[in-house]
Structure 1
Amino acid sequence: MSSPRVVQMEPPDDSVVTVDLTHKAADLWDRIRRGFGMPDLVADEVTNRQIQYLAHPAALSRLFHRSYRYLYHIVDELEARGLPTEIALLPLVESGFDPMAYSSSRAAGLWQFIPSTGRYFNLRQNEWIDERRDIIASTDAALDYLERIYDMHGDWHLALASYNAGEGTVLRARKANEAKGLPTDYLSLDLRKETRDYIPKLQALKNIIARPELFGIELPHVPNRIYFDMIDTPPGVDLALVARLTETPLDELVALNPAYRKPVIPEGKHQLILPADKVEVFKARLDEAQPRWKTYQLQRKDSLQVIAKRFGLTLTQLLQINGLDSSRKAKPGMTLLVPAGADVSEVLPLSELIPDMPTEEDIRNAGKGKKRR
């Protein structure tokens, strides 16, 4: 397996990025540039990736636009830990900044954690919530993981390769090169194609963001200010009610709270993420945010058709509200959401915005996905 070929050439003087740190960052992209701290990867594959990205400007623009809700929080966390801000661009490679992204290897969320790694970093995963999709929890977990593997290697390129392929894979590749008397840097390791392409993708995006004018690209304006904030919320409140009380579009609310797998906040202590300018609005109307749902535990001899009728629903509505695409997915012992004063028509649109994640049975039927992280 061949390694990326290093281009042996000095960059022209006008390619050097200079940043005036005496002035406040003009926007979040400017702030990210100021925090770049990883060594640049100079390789043919980086150039090829730049060409591919630039050949599809509409797709590149969509990629950048999807990041605006989440970037400020991620950059804040990176700076608090003293980490290079290139890491804020990693979700562009991992998930295209789509918190609902789900891969064939069962990786979920912005940072694409598989279930086992998610559990290792204490990301809750149950029928109500999957914190691999939670913006705040998954970012904390990803940065914890990246700090750990950087400490292991002392090299950011090897740390990023480990994030993609697993630290064991990279350690074995390093030991194999050591045994042959070969260099053990990222470019010299015998790694699978996905991992060999991984860092060139990130470097290509870094290069474009560092000098967008050089490539004829106009980055979307992302203000250098907080975009969202958190608030404790009572259990049993549905997202549709929160959207109405705060005059927030449903798709915006779901994009900020993608961890919830059902349209209702479950029992226990949970936080809701709202646009920063909506938090005080919600606090002022908190007395109106009363639970409008209850749960029903499915018994062995229960009929979904009968249950739906009992609670004034059609069978289709009962399935939609509970994220089920078939009655066969409803098993004894499952907890179903049923209305207790809710306007069902107000909540149904959420079923299209909250994609259900495959069950273990779905995964077994589809075959095992490729192994990763």
Structure 2
Amino acid sequence: MKRLRHQTRPLIAFTASALLFWALPNISHADSSSLAVLSNAPEASINRNTSPSAISSPAEITPFVYTNQEADLWERIRAGYAIPDLSNKLVDNQLTWYSTRTDYILRTVQRGSRYLYHVVEELEKRGMPSELALLPFIESAFNPQAISTAKASGMWQFMAATGKDFNLKQNMFKDDRRGVLDSTDAALNYLERLYGMFGDWQLALAAYNWGEGSVQRAIKKQQALGLPVDFDSMSALMPVETRNYLPKLQAVKNIIGHPEQFNIALPKLENQPYFVTVEKTRDIDVRVAAQLAELPMDEFTALNPQFNRPVITGNSNTKILLPTDNATLFKENLSKWQGPLSSWSTYTVAKTEKIESLAHKLGHKPEFIREVNMIPASMLVKAGSTILVPKSEKAPDQDISPEIADKAQLVIEKGIATRQLHYRVGKKDNLNSIAQRYKVSVADLKNWNNLKRDNVSAGQNLQIQVPVLAKSRHVTVASHSRQAHRNKAVASSGKTLVANARSGRKPHG
């Protein structure tokens, strides 16, 4: 049997901020007056946006209550299987793929062990089939930092537009598409809504991957031809990714259901919460939070992947997740801590400018500002953007305001190509006249030449970066011309150029 290539493995990427946290200076003090409230259960208090009319009534979803608390979590998941099984050649192909990759299965299970209990709990509260807890296996390999080539993000792989529809905030400081609590709540809301629309879990899953509008159009096409409207019957109308989506879930469901048949020994998962929530109202550096909880940074980030920057902004809705024992340690250590919790503040950019100019103005190295804010080289920061900067030693210990934290955006654009000139200062020259002559700013002149004052001396040599717009256009045209010539040569030889791209899941509708 020819092995089917795995079509939709996500492009796994860790945010630069997760790596940056390791490089930031260690902070030895925090403010013990900032009290954290330790909750007793890992529940999210999140408003659900799905309209009641879009979700099936309680009579349509029969609640399942698991009572054997002695069994492990795998038994609990198996007992709640409720989606009709799919059996066809595509399922067989996916079973072959997964069952011959034991290491991949076990790595994914290890990652998912942090989150599975919470997902199963939420499914049971809603009366939803427990095999839906295995869906992140297909979407992201249970990696909340996963990013697809289509920019779908998180454990449940939400596109930006769909995430906004389900109240998943995406700003400079956090991306709730990656948050364990928020994204799980949104994903189950979405699946509930889809089941309410189609009355069929298999079609609901197809719509989760393909978009509800696409499934609705396929149903109308089948009905017009007098054909059945189940997943198997309509699979020929679906793109390859969606056609294989449910077979992948079925394959994983079969392996988890009977691992011994595939010579796989699943690790035992305790039927109890892995984490609890800690509510907080003050800003806290990520490194400080991990230090107080006595957790390695990678474990803290795995539970709290939604935070984009090295500071977690605080308000009444801010929660961090910690293993139960570490949450207790966090509370104890916090009560003994002295000094500031956070070392970061914000700066609003008044006009579009280069990082070098901003850094000179703020008294920091350009490389530092660029790294902290994840700004690529040769990019301009647009007016109105918010950047993260260290707190001044003279400034009061104030948190970032909720308004800034909620609305902060960093907008960048590609800078204009420049070339360097060397200029010898004349007797009548000053910085202002030189800046006007070359259409640059005095701040740039000072930054390029490490000048602390506005004075220059006759005979002094200055470096000036001047735009080279005409040259850039010439290079671009020449480049396109060479590519066109190459394409023509390839075409004449009978060869074909193919670009591959994964479409990703479209926003619903």
TM-score interval, normalised by the smaller of the two chains: 0.7 to 0.9
Using the aligned pairs only, state the percent identity.
Answer: 43
The 3-state SS of whatever aligns with 2:264 is coil
The offset of 1:303, in angstroms, is: 5.5
Which whole-Å CA distance do the structure 1 matches of 2:359 and 2:71 have between them? 55
The 3-state SS of whatever aligns with 2:112 is coil
Larger Rg, first or second structure (1 or 2)? 2
What's 1:321 paired with? Answer: 372
Q: Deviations over 1:180-236 (max 9, x none)?
A: 111111001121111110000000000000000111001122221111111122343
What's 2:445 paired with? Answer: none
Q: Note if 1:87 corresponds to 2:135.
A: no
What's 1:355 paired with? Answer: none
Any residues of structure 2 matched to 1:250-329 within 5 Å, and which? 250-266=297-313, 268-269=315-316, 270-287=318-335, 288=337, 290-300=341-351, 304-305=355-356, 307-308=358-359, 313-326=364-377, 328=379
Q: Of 185, 188, 195, which residue of structure 2 is paired with 1:140?
A: 185
Q: Of 246, 268, 272, which residue of structure 1 is paired with 2:293?
A: 246
The offset of 1:25, in angstroms, is: 4.6
What's 2:221 paired with? Answer: 176
Report the CA distance shift for 1:309/1:243 in structure 2 as closer, same or farther (over 3 A).
farther
Conserved in 2, the CA contact under 8 Å of 1:298 and 1:331? yes
Structure 1 residues without counterparts, runs of 5 or longer? 1-20, 343-357
Which whole-Å CA distance do the structure 1 matches of 2:172 and 2:313 have between them? 10
What's 1:194 paired with? Answer: 241
Q: Of 149, 155, 165, which residue of structure 1 is paired with 2:210?
A: 165
The 3-state SS of whatever aligns with 1:336 is strand
The 3-state SS of whatever aligns with 1:130 is coil
What's 1:372 paired with? Answer: 506
Conserved in 2, the CA contact under 8 Å of 1:262 and 1:323? no
Conserved in 2, the CA contact under 8 Å of 1:236 and 1:292? no
Q: Deviations over 1:106-142 (max 9, x none)?
A: 2111111111111111111111111111110111111
Which whole-Å CA distance do the structure 1 matches of 2:240 and 2:89 have between them? 14
Structure 2 residues without counterparts, runs of 5 or longer? 1-65, 394-409, 415-499
The offset of 1:28, in angstroms, is: 1.3
Conserved in 2, the CA contact under 8 Å of 1:231 and 1:271? yes
Q: Of 274, 278, 281, which residue of structure 2 is paired with 1:234?
A: 281
Q: Deviations over 1:42-67 (max 9, x none)?
A: 11111110101122221222122110
Which whole-Å CA distance do the structure 2 matches of 1:361 and 1:310 have between them? 20
Question: Match of 2:107, as an amino acid?
Answer: R
The 3-state SS of whatever aligns with 1:37 is coil
The offset of 1:337, in angstroms, is: 1.6
Question: Match of 1:111, as an amino acid?
Answer: W
Report the CA distance shift for 1:46/1:372 in structure 2 as closer, same or farther (over 3 A).
same
Q: Of 196, 199, 214, which residue of structure 1 is paired with 2:261?
A: 214
The structure where helix makes up a greater share of residues is 1
Which whole-Å CA distance do the structure 2 matches of 1:296 and 1:30 have between them? 52
Q: How many residues align?
A: 336
Q: CA RMSD in A?
A: 2.7
Higher deviation after alignment, 59-68 or 161-170: 59-68
TM-score normalised by structure 2 residue count: 0.62
Conserved in 1, the CA contact under 8 Å of 2:352 and 2:381? no
Which whole-Å CA distance do the structure 2 matches of 1:25 and 1:101 have between them? 33
Which whole-Å CA distance do the structure 2 matches of 1:267 and 1:249 have between them? 22
Report the CA distance shift for 1:101/1:218 in structure 2 as closer, same or farther (over 3 A).
same
Question: Match of 1:71, as an amino acid?
Answer: L
The offset of 1:318, in angstroms, is: 2.0
TM-score normalised by structure 1 residue count: 0.83
